[in-house]
Amino acid sequence: MSVPVPLVIGLDVGGSSVKYVAAALGSAPGDAPQVLRRGTLATPGRRPVAGLVAAVAEACGSDEVHALAVSIPGLIDSGTGRVIRVANLPELDGVALQEELASALSLPVRVINDGHAAAIAEARWGSGQGRADVFTLALGTGIAGAHVLDGQVRVGANGSAGELGHVVVEPGGARCSCGQLGCLETIVGAPALQAAWRDAGGSGSPVELLRAFGDGDPRAVAVVERAASALADAILTLLALVDPGCVVIGGGLASAPHRLVLRAAQLVAERASFHQVPPILPAALGRWAGAVGSAATALECLGEDALGATR
């Protein structure tokens, strides 16, 4: 079988693993990238650029690759692709990642925020498909948000829009990693949920908490109700300020059977006053959304670089 051309690689770099996809253009304009191969590697430690170059080699096998995009859980300078700040990968802090990878691989490279990569994919080809105005949330250790307008993330004037996790829902509440008190993350972030679940006498991860909630365990019901209530309040603030056409919620804590998302959506509907409540939907693409969004970005950067070359 011949490999479609151009072939691109999308990498989604997390704290412990790197997901990769090798992909080609979808069959029609606007279609999702056609994923030819995908897999997972350990996140490289001390020499991250060399490690990511090796990941690209594994992803493309013997095929020629034409562009690369890498998504990183941190703040990226969108002009240069330099990593400004990253939470769980201190080796990448301050690295001119886009430039270094482009130079090592002789390829067009883009470096983007991982929440933005997943948001692009989810808004275009997941639960937001067919809508021009989608706000995506990823519930995990942190809470990442992104407002996707016409398929592109509105990153904000300083690159930091969409931080629903740092909307204060409980003034004077617990101290957040960001320094504020009572951010949504202090109640709905995975570590906060896990601590509340233990305090209530439960054992295991937040996923087990959600399972116990589904089984009607009253200790789990109390913890999840508080989380769903805080999430609903934050979403009402989002509706008041941003008024998106659709809210899509993904990430580990929103995965099937979507109990937290469904309960939060119910509470938003009950509490809405003047708000226009849009559809609030669980994400559809699962854990590959970030890598697919990266591949889409790589395909787009091919187009941009071609335009640049003919100027």
Is residue 24 within 8 Å of 42, Cβ to Cβ? no
Nearer to a second copy by C-beta: 250 or 278? 278
1 lies in the binding site for a second copy (CB under 8 A): no
Which one among 5, 240, 269, 306 touches a second copy, defined by CB under 8 A? 240
Distance of closest approach, residue 84 Cβ to a second copy, in angstroms = 11
Strand partners, 120: none
By CB under 8 A, tell whether 220 contacts a second copy: no
Q: How far is the CB of 230 from a second copy (least distance, A)?
A: 10
Residues 166-195 that bind a second copy (CB under 8 A): 166-171, 176, 178-180
Q: Is position 273 an interface residue for a second copy (rule: CB under 8 A)?
A: yes
| Cβ-contact 219, 202 below 8 angstroms | yes
- Count residues contacting a second copy (CB under 8 A)? 40
Binder of a second copy out of 113, 185, 233, 290 (CB under 8 A): 233
- Residue 241 dihedral angles phi and psi, to the nearest 5°: -90, -40
Q: CB-wise, 3 or 242, nearer to a second copy?
A: 242
Is 156 a binding residue for a second copy by CB under 8 A? The answer is yes
> Residue 161, interface with a second copy (CB under 8 A)?
yes
Nearest residue (CB) to a second copy, 36 versus 137: 137
Of residues 53 and 168, the one with the C-beta less far from a second copy: 168
Pairwise CA distance, residues 123 & 293, whole Å: 10
Q: Scanning residues 242 to 271, which ones bind a second copy (CB under 8 A)?
A: 242-246, 271
CB of 193 to a second copy, least distance (A): 20
Q: Which of 217, 171, 207, 178 is nearest to 75 (CA)?
A: 178
Nearest approach, Cβ of residue 229 and a second copy (Å): 10
Task: Work out which of 236, 264, 295, 301 binds a second copy, going by CB under 8 A.
Answer: 236
* Shortest Å, Cβ 279 to a second copy: 10
Q: Which is nearer to a second copy, 79 or 171 (CB)?
A: 171
Q: Which of residues 94-153 bind a second copy (CB under 8 A)?
A: 133, 145
Neighbours of 178 (CB within 10 A): 12
Nearer to a second copy, 32 or 143 (CB): 143
Of 164 and 253, nearer to a second copy (C-beta) is 164
**Residue 218 and residue 18: Cα distance in Å, rounded?**
38
By the rule CB under 8 A, 275 interacts with a second copy: yes
Closer Cβ to a second copy, 89 or 183, answer by number: 183
Q: CA 134, CA 149: separation in Å to the nearest integer?
A: 7
How many angstroms from the chain centroid is the CA of residue 196? 24
Residues 6+ apart with CB under 8 A from 241: none
Residues that bind a second copy (CB under 8 A): 133, 145, 155-164, 166-171, 176, 178-180, 233, 236-246, 271, 273-276, 278
